[in-house]
Amino acid sequence: MSKEIIHEPIEDFGLSKRTKSTSLFSRVGIVGCGLIGQNLARVASYYGLDVVFVEVSEEKIDEAFSGIIQMLDHRIEHWGLTESEKRAMLSRIEGTTDIAKLAGCDIVVEAIRPVNRGMKIKERKEIFRQIEEVVDRNCIIATNSATVVITELSSELQYKDRCVSIHFFVSSPEARIIEVVKGLYTSDESYTKVCKFVTQINRAMVPVDESAGLISVRIFVVLLNEACEILMEGVASLEDVDMTMKIGFGMRLGPFEVADKMGLDKIVRWMENIYGEFGDVRYKPSPMIKKLVRARHTGVAVGQGFYAYDEKGQKILSAKRSC
Amino acid sequence: MKILVLNCGSSSIKYQLFNMADRKVVSKGGIEKLGMKGSFLKHTREDGQVVIFEGEIIDHKAGIEYILGVLTSVKHGCLKNLEEIDAVGHRVVHGGEKFKSSVFIDEEVKAELERNIALAPLHNPPNLKGITAIEELIPEVPQVSVFDTAFHQTMEPFAYMYGIPNILYKKYGIRRYGFHGTSHRYVSERVCEILNRDIKTQKIITCHLGNGASIAAVKNGKSMDTSMGFTPIEGLIMGTRSGDLDIGAVTFIMDKEELGLRSLNALFNKHSGMLGLTGISSDMREIEKARESGNEKAALALDMYNYRVKKYIGAYAAAMGGLDILVFTGGIGENADTTRQGSAEGLEYMGVELDVEKNRAVHGTEAEISLDSSRVKVMVVPTNEELMIALDTEQIVLERSITGR
């Protein structure tokens, strides 16, 4: 029994001879590791995939790691994860400033946080181009944007058929659902591959036609605009609007709470994009949101949005009402 | 007759090929990380040589295809062709109330298994995938399903019903099913063979102590009660499962820790038991070591473990109106002499007299560990669920060929 173990490639032993298959995803690339990137890194590593994320500086890499660690610790504290699972997950995640490290990835997801609005599309196109330079021909290139249209993003790539848009939910990362958009150029093969990836990270997939705002963002921005109207007209208070939607409609978070969590600056960009696409005023950012963004009250991340937050991101409750 | 025994989990497939003439395993192995990165097949050849086949194994069908491919390969196999496989026996976790013994798999059985997915959402789907894969790859070969729950279907309603509104039993089938049935059946039958006794006259308590653990009261060859319930959480303290727990504490914890269903499940299935108690490990050997070096938490956890086993032994002796044989099996039951001693000592009043010396020497072999004067025989019997599955499969396939059905 002390004989040495023999190693063999399994493909030689199928009943029908197969070629070496590589349809399973094993390495995920992420460009831009903000909240979305961190969530994707966490989820993908949980399901056994290797993750490499690209950030602009060492400082940003540390920031992303501490964000991921914080998420994992939070889950451990709430009994959703064990210490050994956390160690295994972190060992699968690598941070880098070198985009060339994306080589060998089966899918690369672009999830940058754009700084100035006008640059957005240009910036993303440039990133797509850079990604294409370093990855294999059959690597899927995806954007996480819900409003930037994938056909436009991929238009200047050499192989446009491999681009899709996948939209994760920021407000509740545990929502096990992903909207997947097939662009004009996207091949069926690429689309099927993405479906496999989504299944591998245990998420449900909602196929959506290419349309700014998809399902989630488009409905949400209208809801938020209307909630702001109610607030501005003095119909009801902030808390009461949220409470009504939560209790009345069984939402986990009210519209203002969701908006604060996502970041109002991001929402304004969404709204402007969708408004620019459809031209309908109901998508136009409410003056109230714009005012908050101008004051840099952009939500949980800065401690102030519609609500005020403490340093742990917990909502500071206003004084109890009389009734 | 050659029988392939398959145990399909969500990300693993274990297999053993039996030659029924001498009941010996010809070769065996398993696939791990199925459908994940780094999947591989580890195969032990007839000559004991271990071979690891590396590469992508995308799903159960691909996995089983590779297993069949390896078994029939010239280089590492032991079969000339697939026709040499006479039958396939599957371990299926949940048979619900419908299956009281192993069954030949036909369309009706598959439909019922499909319905049972609600009862075992994690385990039954991969079992079914294994069955379908065999059907597609070697359609002529008869398949038999052997259930983890079937042996306990002899329990009386007074033993399996819970004290909750009856409508919940009617609506969802909430009742005690019990698990490890194949193991409890194997060791209770085997122990009677060893001691040359008629199982139909014996009162036996079988302790299956592994990473998951359960105890069964086997009276006259039938399971009368068992410690696992609707799910495998109930009963003994296990590696990472809590075992019996006050439901009031559960709702209290849910409220205080603001837990959802998923976290609650993880808390009682993954973070509890010996791991949660000690904070060291779910592995008994490591906990034993910690106790030896003076770790108080480890000492307490081990005492709790043994005490819980002992409580069930007492309860089941009372339920059966006596005890003739006490059996230990499973990884811990077969190897951990301190656990056996801790849970069986102090039971002299009911005729259990452990031979401390003999007990200390037994690890993983069939042996008697009680004193000659002991009225109750205390035995260690390593479990062999795969053999039991192979035997059931052989019997059912032979019966069918005789009756021509």
Q: Are A175 and A255 contained in the same domain?
A: no
Q: Which domain holds residue A172?
A: 27-209
CA angle (B303 as vertex; B297, B304 as ends), nearest 5: 90
A156 residue type, one letter: E
* Short-list A122, A117, A95, CA closest to A41: A95
Determine the Cα–Cα distance for residues B238 and B210; give it in Å rounded to an integer: 8
CATH number for the domain spanning A125: value is 3.40.50.720
CATH number of B2-147: 3.30.420.40
User: What is the pLDDT of chain A when averaged over all its residues?
Assistant: 87
Mutate: best of B33, B37, B79, partner A, most A CBs <10 A? B37
Contact across the interface for B53 and A24, Cβ inside 8 Å = no
Contact across the interface for A79 and B259, Cβ inside 8 Å = yes
Q: Are A267 and A143 contained in the same domain?
A: no
Determine the Cα–Cα distance for residues A299 and A303; give it in Å rounded to an integer: 6
Average pLDDT over residues B225-234: 96
Q: Please tell me the total count of domains within chain A.
A: 2
More confident residue, A16 or A302: A302
What's the full length of chain B, in residues? 405
Active site residue B148: yes
pLDDT score of B192 more than 90 = yes
Mutate: best of B34, B36, B73, partner A, most A CBs <10 A? B36
Q: Are A168 and A292 contained in the same domain?
A: no
Q: Are A161 and A45 contained in the same domain?
A: yes
For A163-200, b/e burial (b = at least 16 CB within 10 A) is bbbbbbbbbebeeeebbbbbbebbeeebbebbebbbeb
Q: Are A138 and A254 contained in the same domain?
A: no
Where helices occur in chain A by DSSP H, the ranges are: 35-46, 58-77, 83-91, 120-134, 150-154, 188-200, 216-232, 238-243, 249, 255-262, 264-278, 287-294
- On whether any CB of chain B is under 8 Å from the CB of A22, the answer is yes
Model pLDDT for residues A198-229, shown as the tens digit of each residue: 988 889 989 888 888 889 899 999 999 999 99
pLDDT score of B388 more than 80 = yes
- Minimal-distance CA residue of chain A relative to B276: A82
Last residue of a domain, one of A176, A209, A242: A209
Model pLDDT for residues B117-152, shown as the tens digit of each residue: 888 888 889 999 999 999 999 999 999 999 999 999
DSSP helix/strand/coil, A123: helix
Residue B263 has its nearest CB partner, among A3, A78, A82, at A78
**What is the structure's pLDDT at A145?**
78
**What is the structure's pLDDT at A18?**
54
* Short-list B121, B133, B123, B127, CA closest to B109: B127
- A83: which 2 tokens? 């210490």
- Residue A78, min C-alpha distance to chain B (Å): 7
Residue B45 and residue B63 in contact, taking contact as beta carbons nearer than 8 Å: no
* DSSP conformation class of A69: H
- On whether any CB of chain B is under 8 Å from the CB of A21, the answer is yes
**What is the structure's pLDDT at A20?**
54
Question: Looking at chain B, which residues constitute the CATH 3.30.420.40 domain(s)?
Answer: 2-147, 181-236+284-385
- In terms of CATH architecture, what is B181-236+284-385? 2-Layer Sandwich (3.30)
Q: Are A186 and A238 contained in the same domain?
A: no
Residue B367 and residue B380 in contact, taking contact as beta carbons nearer than 8 Å: yes
| Mutual angle of helices B261-269 and B247-256, in 10-degree steps | 130
**What is the structure's pLDDT at A119?**
55
B148, B324, B337, B392: the catalytic one is B148
pLDDT score of A306 more than 90 = yes
CATH number for the domain spanning A239: value is 1.10.1040.10
CA A7 → CA A13, A218, A278, B60, B223, distances in Å? 12, 53, 59, 22, 45
- Residue B143, min C-alpha distance to chain A (Å): 20
Of A135-144, B38-47, B65-74, B373-382, give the range with the top mean pLDDT: B373-382
In-domain check, residue A63: yes
User: What is the pLDDT of chain B when averaged over all its residues?
Assistant: 94
**What is the structure's pLDDT at A22?**
57
In-domain check, residue A312: no
* Short-list A4, A88, A102, CA closest to B38: A88
**What is the structure's pLDDT at A1?**
45
Q: Tell me what ipTM this predicted complex has.
A: 0.71
Model pLDDT for residues A250-272, shown as the tens digit of each residue: 988 899 999 998 899 989 988 99
Contacts (Cβ under 8 Å, ≥6 apart) of A150: A143, A163, A164, A165, A181, A183, A186, A210
**What is the structure's pLDDT at A297?**
95
Lowest mean pLDDT among A18-22, A79-83, A193-197, B252-256: A18-22
Average pLDDT over residues A71-91: 86
Got the DSSP string for B149-192? SGGGGG--HHHH--SS-HHHHHHH--S---S-HHHHHHHHHHHH
Determine the Cα–Cα distance for residues B332 and B339; give it in Å rounded to an integer: 8
Of A83-97, B252-266, B380-394, give the range with the top mean pLDDT: B380-394
Is this prediction's pTM over 0.90? no
Average pLDDT over residues B241-266: 90
- B307: which 2 tokens? 């005490």
SS3 for B37-73 is CCCEEEEECCCCCEEEEECCCCCHHHHHHHHHHHHCC
Contact across the interface for B55 and A11, Cβ inside 8 Å = yes
- Minimal-distance CA residue of chain A relative to B63: A14
DSSP helix/strand/coil, A176: coil
Mutate: best of A4, A10, A89, A93, partner B, most B CBs <10 A? A10
In-domain check, residue A243: yes
pLDDT score of A17 more than 60 = no
**What are the chain A neighbours of B263 within 8 Å (beta carbons)?**
78-80
Got the DSSP string for B221-243? TEEEEES--SSTTSSS--SS---
Determine the Cα–Cα distance for residues B228 and A154; give it in Å rounded to an integer: 56
Q: Are A276 and A143 contained in the same domain?
A: no
Average pLDDT over residues B237-252: 95
Burial environment of residue B81 by CB neighbours within 10 A (0 to 12, 13 to 18, 19 or more): exposed
Contact across the interface for A78 and B35, Cβ inside 8 Å = no
Residue A79 has its nearest CB partner, among B40, B51, B266, at B266
- Residue A77, min C-alpha distance to chain B (Å): 9
Contact across the interface for A8 and B66, Cβ inside 8 Å = no
Q: Are A59 and A156 contained in the same domain?
A: yes
Determine the Cα–Cα distance for residues A81 and A85; give it in Å rounded to an integer: 7
Last residue of a domain, one of A177, A209, A241: A209
pLDDT score of A120 more than 70 = no
**What is the structure's pLDDT at A196?**
86
Residue B288 and residue B335 in contact, taking contact as beta carbons nearer than 8 Å: no
**What is the structure's pLDDT at B380?**
98
In-domain check, residue A293: yes
**What are the chain B neighbours of A21 within 8 Å (beta carbons)?**
55-56, 58
Q: Are A197 and A239 contained in the same domain?
A: no
* Short-list A295, A285, A294, A236, CA closest to A259: A285
In-domain check, residue A321: no
- Percent of chain A exceeding pLDDT 90 equals 47
More confident residue, A23 or B222: B222
Q: Which of residues 72-91 of A touch B (CB under 8 A)?
A: 78-82
B355 residue type, one letter: D
Contact across the interface for B56 and A21, Cβ inside 8 Å = yes
Please state, as a whole number, how many other Cβ atoms lie within 10 Å of the Cβ of residue B126. Answer: 21
